[in-house]
Amino acid sequence: MLDKNGIARRIAQELRDGYYVNLGIGIPTLVANYVPESISVEFQSENGILGMGPFPVSGAEDADLINAGKQTITALPGASFFDSATSFGMIRGRHVHMTVLGAMEVSQNGDIANWKIPGKMVKGMGGAMDLVASAENIIVAMMHTNKAGESKLLKTCSLPLTGIGCVRKVVTEICVMEIKDGAFHLLERAPGVSVEEIAAKTEGALHIPDDVPEMLL
């Protein structure tokens, strides 16, 4: 089973040389720590930076330089700043190659719910609806089950949707799933996790091939 850093490390394997990538808040942010040395990618933050670097060293924080999670960041050589309309133009216009975001629920046809729990949490969707409506390569990073132990990979989402038919892959602490043809397709198991456990924790339609390799991290 993977921890959050393990999930991020596995997602980093999906990066390709030359990708511009948008990382959501939470586990997705950790992906930036595991970019393979052999490739070059640039991270976009939708509040207006391409070429986002690591957190600053203590004392070098700049109130005018933050990421979408409002954390202080740095800008790498080659970075650029832009306004919010331009930023979402990059996203809607499909100039960003890969989007990694968290979710509360994902359905077998690729619907995603991650912005609202009626009566409990109504903080807003931020940029998530724009991202999932337009990006072509959407990877969800999340835990496989919720705090009550219930599957988050469902036949249909029960929470208000953020977008429909958009999620391409899901990486959880126990597996990698691809979503196609209205089902979750099991691609890889996390180290030490059985196919049976994954099947038991997945409510949505699940396709299990004869051979399910363990992930290489």
- Would you tell me which residues interact with another protein (CB under 8 A)? 33, 45-49, 54-58, 60-73, 75, 81-85, 87-88, 91-92, 111, 122-130, 133-134, 160-165
Among residues 60 and 200, whose Cβ is nearest to another protein? 60
Residue 71: CB atoms within 10 Å: 14
CB atoms within 10 A of CB 10: 24
Cβ contact 193:216 at 8 Å: no
CB of 82 to another protein, least distance (A): 7
Instruction: Report the alpha-carbon distance of residue 156 to residue 204 in Å, rounded.
Output: 8
Is residue 72 within 8 A of residue 121, CB to CB? The reply is no
C-beta separation of 151 from 177 below 8 A: no
Q: Which is nearer to another protein, 31 or 193 (CB)?
A: 31
Report the side by side order of strands in the sheet with 105-107: 112-113, 105-107, 153-154
For the CB of residue 117, give the shortest distance to another protein in the complex, in Å. Answer: 13
Residue 21 CB, shortest distance to another protein, in Å, is 17
The residue annotated as part of the active site, out of 46, 105, 173, 203, is 46
- Secondary structure of residue 145 in the 3-state scheme: strand
CB of 61 to another protein, least distance (A): 6
Residue 46 bears catalytic tag: yes
Closer to another protein by CB, 54 or 213: give it: 54
What is the C-alpha separation between 96 and 22, in angstroms, rounded? 7
Nearer to another protein, 70 or 210 (CB): 70
Name the residues annotated as catalytic. 46
